[in-house]
Structures are given as structure tokens and as C-alpha cells.
Amino acid sequence: MATQPDDEAVHGRLLHVNYVAGDPAARGEIFLRYFEALKTHLHIYVRRKQLFLRGGDIDDVVEEAVIDALTSYFSRPAAYDPTRRGLLGYLKMSAEGDFKNRFTREVGREAGLESDFVELDDTGWNSVADGGIDPVDAIEDEQVAGALLARAETIVETEEERIVLRFMLERERSTAVYALALGITARTPKEQRAEVSRIKDRLTKRIRRGLLDESPD
């Protein structure tokens, strides 16, 4: 069963929630789910723009750009705003940017190799000047937010889990806020952290298993 675009928008956000919450497998799951999709996206972009390299392999540039995009997200997940777009759409946009940088550098290097100085071809061929964001990826609507909340309702089993998941979806990171909402401020900070971690761990496990039960494609 293929994943529908709305499903993907929800799945991506849930994977992001898991990653930020500390799920130890989330980074691997995000890579496994999106690495090939991002490469395919850039290959289509390359074909559509009829880009090529004279000497180098453009597939290598594509792969490195995808790795740049994923690595950048992994090191700074807060740069992704799940209220604006799905994770896949964000990563596609990021990979396109990284591809353009690498490709432009590579074209310049090839031009330099051929003429002993670096000069970008400005006659129009091999141009990556446009914004390039697929408008379909940019579409965000209330349906996705609604689907995310509906999915969240199927994940929680207790009121405390509902509270914690709501804050996770809102990207709250302060234990004090969670502790206040859970009514556990009388406990020591260490106990508060442990309790919040336990609930987050239960939720991230349930999210991950739920996503695993659905086809990634």
C-alpha cells in the first residue's frame, strides 16, 4: 500500500518528534526512509534541468548533496519548522540547496581545469539559478494538522501521555514545563526528568512501531 502525501506529511512530523524526543533509532529511521527518496528527487531535478558535468559524475554530487542535507538536519533539527511543511518537503528543499552549491562549485572547477582559471559558464547552459522548490511540496493545509492530531489521539493511552505528546508536538523542550503540566513539581529535578523521559520513551516507541507497520513507500 503506497503512502499518500498527507500520510507522509504526518509520518515525517512524527519522525521529527521522535528524533527531538531522543528516540535512539529515529536518526536511522529517518535516513532509511528518506535517503533514496531524496536522491530520486534530485535525479528528477537534474533531468528536468538537463544538468551535466563534463568530467565528473553528477550522481556523486547528488549523493553528497543528500548526505549534506540529512547531516545538516541531524545536527540542527530545530531549523526544521514542522508547522510550515512536512519533513520530506523540508529535506528536499535543503538537498536542492546543497546540490546547487556543490554543482556550481563543480562546474566552476571543471571550467578552471579546462582554461587554467575558474570561470562559471554564463551562456545559460547548466544553469541552476531558479528557486527550484516543487510547489507541491510547499502546500501545507489544515488537513495535515488535523491528520496529525487525529494520529496523536490513536497513540496516547493515558491523560499524562496526552499532555506530554501535545507538548512534544509543540516542540516544548523544557522539563519544567512538562513537570508543571503533569503535576510532578514536588519531585526532585532528576525525578522529574526521569518521569518525563519515561513517558516520552513510551510514546516514541509507539510512534515508531506505528510507522513501521505502514509501508515507507
Partner 1 sequence: MDSDNIDPERVLSRPSSRREAERADRFSRTSAGARKVAVRLEDDPTTMAWVLARYREAEDADDALIAISLGIDQARIPHLALCSRPRDELFRSDIETIAEHIGMDPLALAEVVRRVDAVTGFGQRPRGHRGGILAAARDRAAEDPATYDPGGSPSSAAVSSPSSTDVPVVATPDDEDER
Contacting residues toward partner 1, per CB under 8 A:
19-29, 31-32, 35-36, 63-64, 66-67, 70-71, 74, 77-78, 173-176, 189, 193-194, 196-198, 201, 204-205, 208, 215-216
Q: Smallest distance, Å, CB 8 to partner 1? A: 16
Q: How many angstroms separate the first and last alpha carbons of the chain?
A: 8
Q: Which residue number, 27 or 133, has a Cβ lying nearer to partner 1? A: 27
Quote the least distance from Cβ 72 to partner 1, whole Å. Answer: 10
Q: What are phi and psi of 156, to 5 degrees?
A: -80, 150
Question: C-alpha cell of 185?
Answer: 513539581
User: Closer CB to partner 1, residue 153 or residue 217?
Assistant: 217
As separate numbers, helices (DSSP H) first and strands (DSSP E) second, the chain gives: 9, 0
How far apart, in whole angstroms, are the C-alpha atoms of residue 204 and residue 166?
Answer: 13
Task: State the minimum distance, in angstroms, from the CB of residue 42 to partner 1.
Answer: 13
Cell (9 digits) for 161: 501521555
Nearer to partner 1, 146 or 189 (CB): 189
With respect to partner 1, which residue has the nearer C-beta, 93 or 196? Answer: 196
Residue 77, Cβ density class (10 Å: 0-12 exposed, 13-18 middle, ≥19 buried): middle
CA distance 120 to 117: 10
- In the complex, minimum distance from the CB of residue 6 to partner 1, in angstroms, rounded to a whole number: 21
The residue (of 1 and 129) whose beta carbon lies closer to partner 1 is 1
- Closest separation in Å from C-beta 204 to partner 1: 8
